[in-house]
Amino acid sequence: MEQILKNFFLFMGKNKVATKMAKKYGLRFGAGRFVAGASLESTLETIRKLNEEGLEVTIDHLGEFVDNEEETNEMTNHCIEAIKSIANQGLNSQLSLKLTSMGLDISRELVIRNMKRIMEVADSYDVFVTIDMEDEARCQATIDIFKELKSQYDNIGTVLQSYLYRTVEDIQDLDSLNPNLRLVKGAYKESPSVAFPQKKDVDENFKKIIKMHLLNGNYTAIATHDDAMIAYTKELVKEHNIPLDQFEFQMLYGIRIDAQRKLRDEGYTMRVYVPYGKDWYGYFMRRLAERPANVAFVLKGIFGK
């Protein structure tokens, strides 16, 4: 049943009609648990509150199915506004973004132009930018663009996913850049031809890439809610005397809040991934697919008021 629900939510997350309906009717049906709000203003207040609790942040202005240049320009302008607002208000936050929202599916020239506009501002305001990883079909293009930008800007990182067979080679390939990487399990539905179909294999590969990247001496963000992976990382850094300022834990906004505070209290850097915006639907469906038990929160949001 869990696999059926997962496949259903991943299918619905790619449904363009449902996406348009979700934009129209706003943050209802429980999505507010996982999405900070529709506006930048409300999200800045969320960042401030998290910072006051000793938690660091990265924000992501959500965008799905961007298929025209005008919309990519709007997304780019919004990212620039967010960077300036973070810096001017003295908030402890980074910026995350998806290259499809910058024009990846339209043209390479467009996405590079938009990313350079963002990176010039991020560089001048000293705000770090992470390029989120999307599905496997866009993986190589994302890595190639990251490499190009990394050659010009220090304050940029990207994401690698442990459920892909290719990721160990990607870690090795990127090592010469001393990259700041967020390591995750992965949340898209992929073919067994490119991704491990079994959870145990995904988990083992996750441990492998965490160890590789940390022992390479590179900054590592371990983005997980899995207690076993958190415990593995703690033991690994203790065994190899890896300093606390070489890595951080990351979790999603609204998920395992007590665990986030526990890691903070133990002295680890704990960063919360805070998504916001009107285009929340695809992100929300992937959160439900990752853990169908989250449906209970949705039902509570609908009927529990």
| Cβ pair 221, 183 in contact under 8 A | yes
36: tokens are 């900070």
Cα distances (angstroms) measured from residue 295 to each of 115, 282, 287: 35, 15, 10
Q: Which of 182, 271, 286, 287 is catalytic?
A: 182
> Bridge partners of 58?
94, 273
Q: How many CA within 13 A on the CB side of residue 164?
A: 22
Taking the CA atoms of 219, 95, 262 and 257 in sequence, report the sign of the dihedral they define: negative
Selecting among 60, 132, 135, 279, the annotated active-site residue is: 132
Q: Are the beta carbons of 66 and 279 closer than 8 angstroms?
A: no
For residues 77 and 110, the answer to whether their CB atoms sit within 8 Å is no
Listed in sequence order, the residues at least 6 apart from 265 whose beta carbon sits closer than 8 Å to its beta carbon are: none
Look up 286 and say whether it is catalytic. no
201 a catalytic residue = no
Active-site residue numbers?
132, 182
